[in-house]
Amino acid sequence: MPIQYYIVLSLALFCIGIVGVLTRRNAIIIFMCIELMLNAVNLLLVAFSKMHHNTVLAADKATQAGIEGQLFVFFIMVVAAAEVSVGLAIIVMMFRNTHSVDVNFLNRLKN
Amino acid sequence: MSATQILFWILSVVALFSAIMVLLSKNPVHSVLWLIAVFFSISGHYILLNAQFLAIVNMIVYAGAIMVLFLFVVMLMNLNKETEPQKNLWLKLAGVVSGGCLLMILVSLIRQASEVTNKQVLLKDGNIGLIKNLGKALFSDYVVPFEISSVLFLSAMIGAVVIGKKN
């Protein structure tokens, strides 16, 4: 499978996430779109890892090249899990104060 | 066209359709469920790329833990489509146009890039995605970032408790 297909698929998912962040006002949906963008990047990292592995595999049969990409995806998932727990706590706190998840209420830092 | 290529196209169509439905759903619960569909199709892509460990971790961590957390928060807030605020039509149109322009520019760049022409992705083969090899690399070369990530988890847990606490 050519790498271009994976790149275009990931770019499409990423741009759908960007459109979601730009067009919705619900804080939870915006947060979900950020997760979608993270996953698009993860998919592209795995595809590039397998592409690099494929090019090195022609010269060396026992190679482990490209494993760093998949480990990087693992660490991205770790950071994303931590980020989601803190972010959802912030959204819950915001809902408790303003009784809404509309991000337009957050246009000032005071009050 | 081989079976893996057919699977690639099916999974891609499912992923893109579900991602668009995440945006178009008025009800936040439906958005969460469509996002779970996106994550499962991305897990299918990982299996197709023979990244089995990442496929399982994606299913357990994302589709299992994170999305259940989202669903829990959505149901806790009792959001429905009547209370959801909407941006005005021109702002929505501007967002869609700017996202589409970014996609168009990036795709046209990729079509011309010489670094990625004639490069093939190794499907359903190769052993770097297996748990054995990933675990060896993780616990030998990358053990320090792995331990640091545990500290990150601890600080995130404490932070979430402190932020979510009623004062």
Residues B60, B13 within the same domain: yes
Q: Is the pLDDT of residue B130 over 90?
A: no
Residue where the block lists tokens 């190679």 = A63
Provide the CATH number for the domain around residue B48: 1.20.120.1200
CB A9 within 8 A of CB B12: yes
Give every residue of chain A whose pLDDT is below 70, as ranges: 108-111
Distances (CA, A) of A75 to A38, A80, B51, B144: 12, 8, 15, 12
pLDDT average, residue stretch B81-86: 63
- Counting residues of chain B whose pLDDT is more than 90, the rounded percentage is 44
CB A1 within 8 A of CB B123: yes
Write down the pLDDT at residue B80. Answer: 64
ipTM value for the complex: 0.90
CB contact under 8 A, A16 and B16: yes
Distances (CA, A) of B20 to B33, B106, B115, B149: 12, 19, 30, 33
Which one, of A34, A28, A67, lies nearest residue A49 by Cα?
A67
Q: For all residues of chain B together, what is the average pLDDT?
A: 87
Q: Residues 85 to 144 of B: which have CB under 8 A from any A CB? A: 85-87, 91-92, 94-96, 98-100, 102-103, 106-107, 110-111, 116-123, 126, 128-129, 133-134, 137-138, 142
CB contact under 8 A, B122 and A104: no
Residues B64, B135 within the same domain: no
**Residues belonging to chain B:** 167
d(CA A11, CA B110): 10
Residue B82 or B45, more confident: B45
Residues B48, B117 within the same domain: yes
Q: Is the pLDDT of residue B99 over 80?
A: yes
The angle subtended at Cα B73 by Cα B71 and Cα B74, nearest 5°, is 65
B60 interface with A at CB cutoff 8 Å: no
Separation in Å, CA of A106 to nearest CA in chain B: 14
Across the A/B interface, how many CB contacts are shorter than 8 Å? 237
Residues B158, B118 within the same domain: no
Helices (H), A1-111: 3-23, 27-57, 67-98
Cβ–Cβ contacts within 10 Å for residue A89, how many? 19
Residues B135, B121 within the same domain: no
Residue spans of the domains in chain A: they are 3-105
Could you read off the pLDDT of B36-78 as tens digits, one per residue?
A: 999 999 999 999 988 889 999 999 988 888 999 899 888 888 7
Residue where the block lists tokens 């972010």 = A87
Could you read off the pLDDT of A70-94 as tens digits, one per residue?
A: 999 999 999 999 999 999 998 888 8
The CATH class of A3-105 is mainly alpha
Domain that includes residue B40, residue range: 3-129
d(CA B48, CA B55): 9
Residues B88, B144 within the same domain: no
Based on the structure, what is the number of domains in chain B?
2
DSSP A35-49: HHHHHHHHHHHHHHH
d(CA B122, CA A52): 9
Q: Which long-range contacts (CB under 8 A, 24 or more apart) does B146-150 make?
A: B149/A75, B149/A78, B149/A79
CB B2 within 8 A of CB B9: no
